[in-house]
Amino acid sequence: MNYSELTQVMRRLALEAGDAIMEIYERPNLDVETKDDDSPVTAADKAADRLIAQGLAEAFPDTPIVTEEQADTHDVDAITFLIVDPLDGTKEFINRRGDFTVNIAFVEDRAPTRGVVYAPARGRLFYTDSTGRSVEEIGPFEKDTPGETKPLEVSEPDNDALMIVASKSHRDEATDEYINRYAVKDMTSAGSSLKFCLVATGEADLYPRLGRTMEWDTAAGHAVLFGAGGRVVRFDDHTALAYGKPGFANPYFIAYAPGVDLKEG
């Protein structure tokens, strides 16, 4: 894989998808459908999915592509592939809360090594560069010409005063019970894959997820966090979260800055 080309293509497609999403977001009415798993889907999900899938297929015709909106058609038995969530945080989108993202990632040997996370309503763009290091680009964003970037690096956690981020739409009692095992200085909520990015920027130290997620939900944020020095592990045994699993379903997991004294589940 040509990583320079991959970075350019993923970044451009994320920005183009963000434009398509925001055009629909700004309409007075949003048409919402329900998928077979009872999750919502909108015209924005579908438009962004088509745009990204086509762009990736044209640029990387020999690389398998997995996208959320075409998941029923995927029969991928690969350990290296591209994976896309065209609109992560559909509930945030529907409720016009802004915490939704475009996620595109490249998985190599079951690990997400490159990724882009774009939050168009928040004006924040995070991605791995050609070397695998993570950056946040400072807007305004030009499609074909990257602007100024700043490198991302996870925090040096203080285990007596941790900064924790949790899901805005999927917070539950089990998550709160786990968080209560830590000495917490501050607690914040965020939607979609922005939680990974807040750990990557050092704005949070720990993000536990005790709920259902799919690989397309996490791969891009995982890559950005890894490129900033962070880690993502399974909740049950603290081994690395792997990709290319049957059905693309994730177990519970913990994303964190090394130095956090992880508690047992």
Instruction: Enumerate the known binding-site residues for substrate.
Output: 68, 87-90, 217
88 alpha-carbon distance from chain centroid: 7
Pairing of strands 65-67, 111-119: unpaired
Q: Look-up: residue for tokens 């320079």?
A: 4
Binding residues for Mg(2+), by number, are 68, 85, 87-88, 217
Cis ω before 140 (30° cut-off from 0)? yes
Amino acid at 140: P
* Calpha distance 189→195 (Å, rounded): 8
Contact 194, 117 (CB under 8 A): yes
Q: What is the 3-state secondary structure (H, E, C) of the chain?
A: CCHHHHHHHHHHHHHHHHHHHHHHHCCCCCCEEECCCCCEEEHHHHHHHHHHHHHHHHHCCCCCEEEHHHHHHCCCCCCCEEEEEEEECHHHHHCCCCCCEEEEEEEECCEEEEEEEEECCCCEEEEECCCCCEEEECCCCCCCCCCCEEECCCCCCCCCCEEEEEECCCCCHHHHHHHCCCCEEEEEEECCCHHHHHHHCCCCCEEEECCCCEHHHHHHHHHHHHHCCCEEEECCCCCECCCCCHHHECCCEEEECECECCCCC
